[in-house]
């Protein structure tokens, strides 16, 4: 059984030793924050998201409004244009998507909408990233929208639209004429599919913006206060004008947390090289390897929140504007420290030189960050198609890079900080972080215990 005072004593001793080397102490805490400072000057002036037009393909399977209902919508001054009544609500919404510009940018549309009929061809364009997303309107879209209008009318007038038409016709004819037309729908489900490559930054943004348009349109068309032509209040859509710096901040924060592993592993290796050979002396004591490892790991878990606070604080100081909850993002960053622990003890077990350990982690963490999508989109190598849950609830492909816990940490942190999802929306990513990190951690701790506490070192 592990002795609590023993491993805490290891943590305290290592902390005191680290504080004596103030340069290493400063590196551990502030170097990642300084890197964010450098990236700010490199990328803050480069705009993305709100400054570009996204190309989306649209497949309109909407069957429109029932023919027998259309005359009554026109005759009763429903507020809808004849074009909308004739073509259906999906066609009207597609027109709005294709004609809405960014606020204050009269010549810069948000979407370039390409109408398509063949879903297979459209999916090929998505997979090749020739388009940023695919929107498929179901055949019941107009029926479902009209049901929303009918229910909204009932809430305000205490009667459905056919009842209102009947009342109006009855009163105008002096009780001689009644409504004999078809009933209006009162309930209908219609799911709009939004399809794209979850690893592609442009699709991540399209996936956020399009539902906002759909919701805004639905609210406008069912409010009974809409103008003759339904419009979208783009100022209420929150199309964020992110810079490249804003986009890479979550990746930089995760990268900074993992960089700590190189500095800690260098310190562990240094304990093999000091004149007193700390590890050799510890092996002669009653301390067990798990107690030493737990003490060293606890130190890293304690330092990590300080470092995360510095990283997030530096990003905010330089103008990063998160739309989501910073505290929830903080939790994601702290969880990925488990992955950092695995890297730390793996390097500590393999390298006996502090310089070699630090350099190996430094060179190793950088490609891990790139492969995880910290700085740019990476080529997608699919292992299992349409299997992994996303923050929106849709399924995406599980790729080769999903074997890295940092990939899930960056996805989760971006979803929370940039797109205002909650931590419950990214539970799949959190579970993946924990499971993958624990696997590496068990391997690294076993390796470290065997290499440093048994045999020659």
Tens digits of per-residue pLDDT, 111-126?
899 999 888 888 888 8
Pairwise CA distance, residues 232 & 51, whole Å: 19
What pLDDT, on the 0 to 100 scale, is given for residue 225?
A: 47
Percent of the chain's residues with pLDDT above 70: 69
Per-residue pLDDT of 184-207, as tens digits, reads: 767 666 778 888 876 676 787 787
Higher pLDDT, 347 or 253: 253
Question: Which of 2-16, 69-83, 91-105, 379-393 is least confident?
Answer: 2-16
pLDDT above 90: percentage of residues in the chain: 14
pLDDT confidence of residue 435: 96
pLDDT at 236: 40
Strands 133-137 and 193-195: antiparallel
Distance (Å, rounded) from C-alpha 138 to C-alpha 214? 13
pLDDT beyond 80 at 395: no
Which of the pair, 32 or 303, is modelled with greater confidence?
303
Q: How far apart are CA 352 and CA 293, in angstroms?
A: 16
Lowest mean pLDDT among 227-241, 316-330, 407-421: 227-241
| Alpha-carbon gap, residue 336 to 427, rounded angstroms | 14
pLDDT for residue 333 = 92
Least-confidence region, from 111-125, 157-171, 418-432: 157-171
Question: Is it the case that residue 229 has pLDDT exceeding 50?
Answer: no
Extents of the domains making up the chain? 4-46+243-453, 49-236
The per-residue pLDDT for range 289-320, each reduced to its tens digit, is 667 777 777 777 888 888 888 889 888 888 88
Check pLDDT > 50 for residue 41.
Answer: yes
Note the pLDDT of residue 409.
Answer: 95
The pairs formed by 91-98 with CB atoms below 8 angstroms and a separation of 24 or more are: 91/60, 91/62, 91/64, 92/217, 92/230, 93/137, 93/213, 93/214, 93/217, 94/58, 94/60, 94/137, 96/213, 96/217, 96/230, 96/231, 96/232, 97/56, 97/58, 97/210, 97/213
pLDDT at residue 74 above 70? no
- Give the span between the Cα atoms of 68 and 72, in whole angstroms: 8
* Best mean pLDDT range from 65-69, 139-143, 178-182: 139-143
Which of 116, 122, 142, 3 lies closest to 62 in space, CA to CA? 142
The pairing of strands 395-399 and 133-137 is unpaired
Please count the CA atoms within 13 angstroms of the CA of 439 that sit on its side-chain side. Answer: 8
pLDDT of residue 234: 41
CA–CA distance, 226 with 230 (Å, rounded to integer): 6
């Amino acid at each position: 059984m592990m002795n609590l005072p023993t491993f805490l004593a290891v943590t305290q001793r290592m902390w005191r030793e680290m504080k004596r080397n103030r340069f290493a102490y400063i590196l551990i805490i502030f170097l990642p924050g300084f890197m964010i400072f450098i990236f700010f000057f490199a990328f803050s002036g480069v705009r993305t998201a709100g400054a570009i037009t996204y190309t989306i393909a649209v497949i309109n399977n909407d069957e429109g409004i029932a023919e027998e209902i259309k005359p009554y919508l026109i005759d009763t001054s429903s507020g809808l244009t004849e074009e909308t009544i004739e073509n259906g609500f999906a066609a009207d919404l597609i027109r709005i998507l294709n004609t809405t510009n960014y606020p204050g940018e009269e010549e810069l549309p948000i979407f370039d909408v390409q109408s398509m009929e063949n879903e297979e061809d459209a999916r090929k364009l998505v997979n090749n990233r020739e388009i940023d997303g695919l929107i498929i309107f179901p055949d019941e879209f107009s029926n479902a929208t009209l049901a929303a209008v009918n229910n909204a009318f009932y809430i305000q007038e205490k009667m459905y639209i056919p009842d209102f038409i009947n009342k109006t016709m009855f009163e105008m004819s002096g009780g001689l004429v009644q409504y004999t037309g078809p009933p209006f729908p009162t309930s209908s489900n219609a799911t709009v599919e939004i399809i794209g490559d979850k690893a592609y930054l442009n699709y991540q943004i399209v996936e956020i913006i399009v539902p906002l348009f759909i919701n805004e349109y639905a609210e406008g068309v069912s409010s009974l206060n809409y103008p003759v032509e339904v419009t979208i209040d783009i100022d209420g859509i929150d199309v964020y004008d992110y810079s490249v710096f804003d986009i890479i901040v979550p990746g930089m924060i995760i990268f900074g947390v993992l960089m700590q592993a190189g500095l800690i592993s260098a310190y562990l290796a240094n304990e093999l090289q000091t004149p007193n050979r700390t590890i050799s002396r510890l092996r002669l004591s009653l301390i067990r390897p798990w107690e030493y490892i737990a003490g060293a790991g606890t130190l890293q878990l304690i330092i990590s929140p300080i470092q995360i606070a510095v990283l997030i604080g530096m990003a905010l100081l330089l103008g990063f504007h998160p739309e989501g909850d910073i505290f929830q993002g903080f939790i994601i960053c702290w969880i990925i420290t488990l992955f950092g622990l695995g890297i730390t003890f793996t390097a500590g077990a393999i390298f006996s030189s502090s310089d070699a350990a630090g350099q190996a982690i430094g060179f190793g963490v950088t490609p891990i960050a790139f492969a995880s999508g910290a700085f740019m989109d990476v080529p997608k190598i699919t292992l299992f198609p349409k299997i992994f849950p996303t923050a929106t609830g849709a399924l995406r492909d599980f790729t080769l890079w999903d074997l890295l816990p940092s990939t899930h940490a960056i996805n989760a942190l971006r979803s929370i900080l940039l797109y205002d999802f909650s931590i419950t929306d990214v539970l799949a990513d959190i579970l993946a972080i924990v499971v993958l990190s624990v696997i590496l951690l068990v391997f690294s701790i076993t390796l470290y215990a065997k290499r440093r506490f048994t045999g020659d070192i």
